[in-house]
Amino acid sequence: MRSAIINLDKPSGITSQQAVSRAKKILGTGKAGHCGTLDPQASGVLLICLGRATRLADYFQALPKTYRAVLKLGEVTDTQDATGTVTASADASGLSDDEVTATLKSFVGRIAQVPPMYSALKSSGTPLHRLARKGIEIPRAPRPVDIYDIRILSIEHPLVTFDVSCSKGTYIRTLCHDVGQSLGPGAHLLSLIRRAVGDFRIEKAVTLERLDEQYLIAPEEALSFMAECRIREPAATRLRNGIRAPEEQCIFSEKEEPGKRYRLHTEDGEFLGVGLLKDGQVAVECLIAA
């Protein structure tokens, strides 16, 4: 089975895993997995890894994300989004555009988020959303996340549309909830589109209806956000067997930096995987080549 990446435009109404299953069926492939869950009601960029490329999922999952969100003021729901039950409501008409803008902007930077109960996170092996549906709530420790930028597109009370760029692990539902709590009347996430994961943008994403092999991205191309390192022989052959390559046997596309990850190729261009430069040697961190 070919190793590849898909930049899929997931439709709303299905889970991320259902999207993976449909992609596998369309392509007739076996092993596959996605790189970061999108809620069922959310749409947009969902990266899917096929074959041995599933080993690369963590690198893609760590990339920054960009979303377009619509926040509804004046209503709090138990799921923090529009799929839940309204648990509190208040009049938000007295809020000025400046207040809303300033409060949203105050969340830019490193913040602490308490993960929602309605999430795929697990407690003792059980997804939190299953516990939540049974009426069980357990303590969740706040987690640090980074909000790189928030750009407000429109404020048409009670709806606020904005773009947000953030780190892995950020819950936009929780961001909307927390903004609502800071403003007073409460809020929840009405709709969400993931517009980008790193350089993978929605404009170049493929829908399930159009998906075929021409939309498969080679792993080395998908990892183009990493610098390249070419390994001379015989170090390249030894590298396949877990033996580190001395720095002098490596050709770097950028200035070598200890602790930096590189796309690894043989000198004649065969893609090997991802490596890490440490102590004057390149070690394979993720081997893709057979």
**Which residues participate in catalysis according to the annotation?**
39
**Beta-carbon-side half-sphere exposure of residue 67 (alpha carbons within 13 Å):** 27
8-state DSSP, 36 = S
Q: Which residue's entry shows tokens 């819950």?
A: 171
Locate all alpha helices (DSSP H) within the chain, ordered by sequence. Answer: 16-27, 57-61, 97-105, 128-133, 172-183, 219-222, 235-240
- Give dist(CA 275, CA 37) in Å, integer: 26
- Nearest residue to 189 (alpha-carbon basis) of 39, 64, 18: 39
**Secondary structure class of 160 (helix, strand, coil):** strand
